[in-house]
């Protein structure tokens, strides 16, 4: 399993008994990320067995309460648990001031380092990378500055064709990394062995696109094109398209259009308005446009 997404919350506006605001836990290529942190997120993390110590990077899409009001509580709990590892938070400009003021006036003291990466660009940019994964912003259209996030595995090393490699005594174990990196091999005779004869294509790299609150926005299509998994907000059904436009949100149908035009593999709908009791209607509407549509449900896990 290379990618696993756990829905911790997927409803809009205020928390209710069985409806939790937005938060997601993503595991991709052995990396662990928290995406948005609505009120009650740490309770949901405990309920669905998300290890607190695994979270070193938190991505906040925008500064509406249903997407970040749980953050200060989680930060404080990390302090109570004697966390020592640094915690990196990526979010809109202003998030550092908000969190530091909350810590200051509550006289809360944490021993670990908080590192803020404040965002203000209206263009997609690389905001995180390591040896295995990279994360890009997805600029969205909402009532305040908002980003989605694209999580991508970096290209994986090629696989060794040992039946071919074993035919050449000159190829030693110390040469394997070069072969995995795609390099040809030069024999002492001067003959060049093409990498394609000594290796196989690497395992496909996976990607997940998270599109938080936004009106219909075709500008994101090029950024998310071909993603294996796309979460796209669908606060309303088409019966409220006018309200969606007014509040800078999307309908399930519009999310389906984005998924179809971006040629993603699978679409997940979420951020449902409380005015709808039956969320299966969102799935039905989305599937009319994009057949491989599913809906977010609290506690549901999507795996590739």
The catalytic residue positions are 66
Distance CA 255, CA 213 (A): 11
Q: What is the rounded CA–CA span in Å between residue 222 and residue 79? A: 40
Among 48, 110, 47, smallest CA distance to 73 is for 110
Q: How far apart are CA 58 and CA 90, in angstroms?
A: 6
| DSSP sequence for 111-145 | SSPEEEEEE--SS--EEEE-SSEEEEEEE--SSS-
Taking the C-alpha atoms of residue 283 and residue 253, their distance in angstroms, rounded to an integer, is 9
Other CB atoms within 10 Å distance of the CB of residue 33: 24
Sign of the CA dihedral with 59 first, then 61, 63, and 66 last? negative
Residue 216, both tokens: 């219909």
Alpha-carbon distance 110 to 77, whole Å? 9
């Amino acid at each position: 399993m290379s990618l696993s997404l756990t829905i911790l919350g997927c409803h809009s506006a205020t928390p209710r008994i069985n409806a939790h605001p937005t938060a997601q836990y993503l595991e991709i290529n052995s990396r662990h990320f928290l995406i948005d942190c609505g009120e009650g997120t740490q309770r949901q993390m405990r309920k669905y067995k998300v290890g607190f110590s695994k979270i070193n990077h938190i991505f906040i899409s925008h500064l509406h309460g249903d997407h970040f009001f749980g953050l200060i509580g989680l930060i404080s709990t990390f302090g109570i648990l004697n966390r020592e590892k640094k915690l990196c938070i990526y979010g809109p400009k202003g998030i550092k001031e908000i969190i530091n003021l909350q810590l200051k006036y509550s006289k809360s003291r944490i021993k670990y380092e908080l590192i803020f990466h404040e965002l203000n660009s209206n263009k997609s940019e690389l905001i995180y990378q390591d040896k295995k994964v990279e994360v890009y912003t997805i600029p969205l259209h909402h009532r305040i500055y908002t980003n989605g996030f694209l999580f991508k595995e970096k290209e994986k090393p090629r696989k060794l064709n040992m039946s071919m490699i074993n035919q050449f005594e000159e190829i030693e174990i110390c040469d394997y990394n070069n072969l995995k990196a795609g390099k040809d091999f030069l024999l002492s005779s001067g003959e060049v062995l093409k990498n394609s004869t000594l290796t196989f294509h690497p395992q496909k790299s996976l990607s997940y696109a998270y599109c938080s609150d936004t009106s219909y926005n075709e500008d994101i299509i090029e950024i998310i094109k071909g993603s294996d998994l796309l979460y796209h907000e669908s606060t309303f059904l088409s019966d409220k398209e006018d309200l969606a436009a007014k509040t800078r949100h999307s309908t399930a149908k519009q999310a389906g259009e984005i998924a179809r035009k971006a040629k993603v593999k699978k679409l997940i709908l979420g951020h449902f308005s409380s005015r709808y009791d039956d969320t299966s209607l969102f799935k039905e509407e989305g599937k009319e446009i994009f057949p491989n549509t599913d809906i977010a449900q609290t506690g549901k896990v999507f795996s590739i």
